Chains A and B, each alone.
Chain A
Amino acid sequence: MDSTVIEKITSSDYQLSDTRLSTKVVDEAIETIDLKLIKNSEIKYEDGYDFSFLDKKDSDILFNNKLHALNNRNFNTYREYYKEAQNWVGHIIELKEDSFVAKLEDLHHPATYEIASFDFNDVSPEDKKLIGLGNVFYWSVGYAVRNSQVIKESFIRFQRLPSWTVAQFDTIADNARSLSNSLKWD
């Protein structure tokens, strides 16, 4: 990754909001800087990464927490901020009047899955509009240290990937057509 697009900035300037960083991005970021953050405006989709999810403003803990949650990584570097954590990826399988039921996969030990219900109030106002059947989210619980105080945290962030571009959709359709043509059908 071009070092010009990664700046040594305080993590409080940026917020990782929605999606999973690729392993490659995380690895590169870890190697490159200490409090590893990636500046949104200078990296474009054409570079192979979509950083539209990076918005300004968040706390160190929230950032690290989310990074941890979204990447299933053990960041020893962050121990001073984040003590222990448990992370899941889930999707909504049932909607109720003021809550939803989700199927969850433990990101550390993906084997049997878990089910839990969440109140709509557990979801941030900006994510509430994303509550819908099948929608994917990440859930983390953990102990964080902030201002020398241990805080118990639980938070949910919904995935917000951009829609497929026309070109991406066409590529998928072309591949499907080519597979269809390569098959004999009865």
Chain B
Amino acid sequence: MGLEDLPQIHIGEVTLIGTGGGYGESSVIHIGNNEWVVIDSCIDPNTRTCLPLDYLLALGVDVKTQVKVIICTHWHDDHILGMSSLLGACESAKFYFARSTDKDKFLLLLSLDVAKADDGVWSSSTTEFFNCVKLIAERNEIPLRASQDRLLYKTEANGVSNEVWALSPSDYTLDKFDQEISKLIDVIKHRNKKFINESPNSKSVVIYIKINDHRILLGADLEISRDNKEGWDNILENCLSIDRKASLFKVPHHGSENGYHTKIWSSLLIDNPVSKITPWNRNQKLPQKSMLQKYAGHSSNLYLTTSVLTLGSKAKKREKSIEKLILEKNPSLQEIKYKHGIIRSRIDCLKNDVIWQVELFGAAVQIDQSYIDKMA
């Protein structure tokens, strides 16, 4: 099938759009009956266009009316860029994210970082998020809170019923976020500092989707916590909305070690589930070979949105004299290459004994042992 083929109303779809280099990932899901859910957003850094929006438009989806839910799992650059243009186009979509209870402090945190944009300091993720909140205010809509065991959307028509659940963050995590915000404000108010906050991974919104008898688990960037009141341990021990094992899994946090828990594979997933990973490549490269080996041990249906074998490590092409100078002055300079791939899976929701049909587009690859052997 071509990329532009629109699924029929009884066909479920989970499409992971991802890039090399940590430019981002987004999941686009057809939950049946021409209703769509978009989780996270990312952009093409060259054109600045929103990749999930491009994809939906290429399919011919009427984004104004058919995108029902947009979820921001957390506000890291690689999950949120382009979100405001997506939300702007999807006029009837409800907007969910994990937010703190102290709304004023939360917005002050965002506002301070956004104010830095005027100084020329990057503040892309917070600016993007702030623009989404402003858009919601202009529409007189409610910015909705995603949290553990919360039903975000539900419909039933033409023999297809669906439910979209959030499995995280836990109340405990959100309470901690409230306490953390004051500290973050203290950091963020320094005008010469780009806001670098690694912690929102713990507030990532994991999504669990039910479409008739099929189950989908989308792991966002949630990590393992030392405390079983949050992270994957909390989901494994305390979530009430999980009623059966998922056959499709978006592996959390780019296949990192801290996103791996053996019990996820034994308790939440069927044997050999379709498993998808978006790589990440900055000063640290994910997934690492050892982890990919582990994931391959759980599933032969393992896919990467972009091959990690092809991510180069040279500086950008420039005038020869400048290239020579850069090499002399700082040979460590390297471009973080952008390549994007799409892993699309579709399933007939009206049938029980069927498996996901997977299609790969762009730079996406299926992982097998020979591929892993080639990794450094």
Residues of A within 8 A of B (CB-CB), count: 55
**Chain A residues near B143 (CB, 8 Å)?**
183, 185-186
Q: Which of B32-40, B235-243, B249-257, B315-323 contacts A (4 or more CB under 8 A)?
A: B315-323
CB <8 Å contact, A169 and B191: no
Report A155-186 residues with CB < 8 Å from chain B CB: 158-164, 168-169, 172-173, 175-177, 179-180, 182-186
Can you add 7 more A-B contacts, CB < 8 Å, to A19-B120, A113-B335, A161-B191?
A112-B336, A114-B336, A115-B334, A122-B330, A168-B115, A172-B115, A179-B111
Is B191 in contact with A164, judged by CB distance below 8 angstroms? yes
B60 interface contact, C-beta 8 A: no
Chain B residues whose C-beta falls within 8 Å of the C-beta of A159 in the assembled complex:
119-121, 192
Given A111-B45, A114-B316, A143-B321, does the pair A86, B326 have CB atoms closer than 8 Å?
yes
- Map CB proximity to B onto A112-123 as digits: 1 under 8 Å, 0 otherwise: 111111100010
Name the residue of chain B whose CB is nearest to the CB of A185: B103
B322 touches A154 (CB 8 A): no
How many angstroms from the CA of A91 to the CA of B282 in the assembled complex? 13
The residue that A136 contacts in the complex, of B110, B121, B283, with Cβ under 8 A, is: B121
* The stretch of B79-87, B129-137, B161-169 that contacts the partner chain: B129-137
Give chain A residues whose Cβ lies under 8 Å from the Cβ of B315.
Answer: 114
Kindly identify, within residues 292 to 334 of chain B, every residue whose CB is under 8 Å from any CB belonging to chain A: 315-316, 318-319, 321-322, 325-326, 328-330, 332-334
Contact A152 B328 (CB under 8 A): yes
Whether a CB of chain A sits under 8 angstroms from the CB of B59 is no
Which residue on chain A has the smallest CB distance to residue B335?
A114
Residue contact B319 to A134, C-beta cutoff 8 Å: no
Take A84-B319, A114-B316, A176-B110 as given contacts and tell me if A130 and B104 are in contact as well, using a CB distance cutoff of 8 Å. Answer: no
Partner of B283, one of A19, A115, A173: A115
A7 part of interface (Cβ distance < 8 Å)? no
A180 to chain B, nearest CB (A): 5
In chain A, what residue has the closest Cβ to B47? A111
A153, chain B: closest CB distance, angstroms: 8
Interface residues of A (CB under 8 A from B): 19-20, 84, 86, 89, 91, 93-94, 101, 103-106, 109, 111-118, 122, 130, 132-136, 141-143, 152, 154, 158-164, 168-169, 172-173, 175-177, 179-180, 182-186
* Given A112-B46, A112-B335, A176-B108: A161 and B322 interface contact (C-beta under 8 Å): no
- List 18 A-B residue pairs with CB atoms under 8 Å apart, sorted by A's residue number: A19-B120, A84-B319, A84-B322, A86-B322, A89-B120, A112-B23, A114-B334, A115-B282, A116-B332, A122-B330, A135-B194, A154-B325, A168-B115, A172-B108, A182-B137, A183-B136, A183-B142, A183-B143
Whether B107 and A114, one on each chain, are in contact in the complex, defined by CB atoms closer than 8 angstroms, is no
B1 in the interface, Cβ–Cβ < 8 Å? no
Q: Is B259 an interface residue (CB 8 A)?
A: no
Pick the 5 closest A-B CB pairs, nearest first: A154-B329, A91-B194, A176-B111, A116-B333, A134-B193
Q: How far is it, in angstroms, between the C-alpha of A172 and the C-alpha of B110 when the chains are bound? A: 10
Residues of B within 8 A of A154 (CB): 325, 329-330
Which residues does chain B contribute within 8 Å of A91, judged by CB atoms? 121-122, 193-194, 196
Complex CA–CA separation, A91 to B77 (angstroms): 14
What are the residues of chain A within 8 A of B142 when measuring CB–CB? 183-186
Cross-chain contact B46 with A111 (CB below 8 angstroms) = yes
Task: Name the contact of B318 in the complex, choosing from A86, A132, A182 (C-beta under 8 A).
Answer: A86
B140 within 8 A of A: yes
Given the known A-B contacts A84-B319, A116-B332, are A93 and B191 also in contact in the complex, defined by CB atoms under 8 Å? no
Chain B, Cβ-Cβ closest to A110: B45
A110 to nearest B CB, angstroms? 8
For A169, list chain B residues within 8 Å (CB): 189
Find out whether the CB atom of A143 lies under 8 angstroms from the CB atom of B192: no
**Contact status B107-A141, CB under 8 Å:** no
Bits for B16-30, please: 1 = Cβ < 8 Å to A, else 0: 000001010000000
Does B332 lie within 8 Å of A179, measured CB to CB?
A: no
Docked-complex contact B283 and A93, CB < 8 angstroms: yes
B107 close to A180 (CB less than 8 A): yes
Task: List residues of chain A with CB within 8 A of the CB of B190.
Answer: 163
- Neighbouring B residues of A130 by C-beta, 8 Å: 192
Give the docked Cα–Cα distance between A112 and B326 (Å). 17
Residues of B within 8 A of A20 (CB): 120
Residue of A111, A136, A164, A172 touching B194 (CB-CB under 8 A): A136
Give the Cβ gap from B318 to chain A, nearest Cβ, in Å.
6
Closest to A182 in B: B137
Q: Is B112 an interface residue (CB 8 A)?
A: yes
Question: Which residues in chain B, 82-137, are within 8 Å of chain A measured between CB atoms?
Answer: 103-104, 107-108, 110-112, 115, 119-122, 133-134, 136-137
Of the candidates B119, B136, B325, the one whose C-beta lies within 8 Å of that of A141 is: B325
Q: Closest Cβ of chain A: how far from B97's Cβ, in Å?
A: 11
CB distance from B299 to the nearest CB of A (A): 31
